Amino acid sequence: MTLDELAREVDAACRLRGEFLLRSGRTATEYFDKYRFEADPVLLDALAGRLAALVPAGIEVLAGLEMGGIAVVTALGRHTGLPCAFVRKTAKEYGTARLAEGADVTGRRVLVVEDVVTSGGQLAISTRQLRELGAIVEDALCVIDREEGGAAALAADGITLGALLTRSDLDRARDRAGR
């Protein structure tokens, strides 16, 4: 499947129209429901296969953010062979009481993986928390960059954002499909 075909499939599966409150507090008239591509094993595997080529050299651990980044990072780990960490929004208060479960991140080069990035807010928070745990985080990777300032905000925190698809890519794919 070409990247353009993949973009068309993702757009058809997950772009919703209406009024949606985003995590950033902003209201949007379009929403990319990531669970629609994460719940489709064939589509998720195709996305992970393409994302694998975007993983920077030297990465030792893939860190998926709760909740949507978990499915993406697990599929990506299958394609790269890299161990995964699963990052909570807050450390759990029972059991191991960890913020990051799975692979140890301390002293390791970690790639933070997210599904959709808008403002980059949660990604920045989680990256700071991972750095406090001793992780070396310079890069993040997402399936969709909504192109609403997330990449610039993350750059200010020393994080380079890579994206498999952007909102512009999805718009072009949608236009070519005549939707």
Flag whether 96 is marked binding: no
Query: Can you give the pLDDT at residue 40?
Result: 95
Query: Can you give the pLDDT at residue 63?
Result: 97
Flag whether 116 is marked binding: yes
> What kind and span of H or E run contains 58?
none
Global pTM?
A: 0.91
Flag whether 134 is marked binding: no
Q: Whole-angstrom Cα distance, residue 118 to residue 116?
A: 7
Flag whether 137 is marked binding: no
Flag whether 176 is marked binding: no
Flag whether 102 is marked binding: no
Flag whether 158 is marked binding: no
Flag whether 36 is marked binding: no
Flag whether 179 is marked binding: no
**pLDDT tens, residue by residue, 63-114:** 999 888 899 999 999 999 999 999 988 776 766 657 899 999 999 999 999 9
Query: Can you give the pLDDT at residue 177?
Result: 77
Flag whether 146 is marked binding: yes
Q: Whole-angstrom Cα distance, residue 168 to residue 39?
A: 23
Flag whether 23 is marked binding: yes
Flag whether 178 is marked binding: no
**What range does the domain containing 127 cover?**
3-177
Supply the CATH number for residue 65's domain: 3.40.50.2020
Number of domains in the chain: 1
DSSP 130-178: HHHTT-EEEEEEEEEE--SSHHHHHHHTT-EEEEEEEHHHHHHHHHHHT
- Contact predicate 49/75, CB 8 Å: no
Q: Is 70 exceeded by the pLDDT of residue 179?
A: no
Q: Whole-angstrom Cα distance, residue 11 to residue 138?
A: 29
Q: Which of 31-35, 50-54, 90-94 has the lowest mean pLDDT?
A: 90-94
| Residue 101 CB partners (closer than 8 Å, separation 6+) | 85, 86, 88
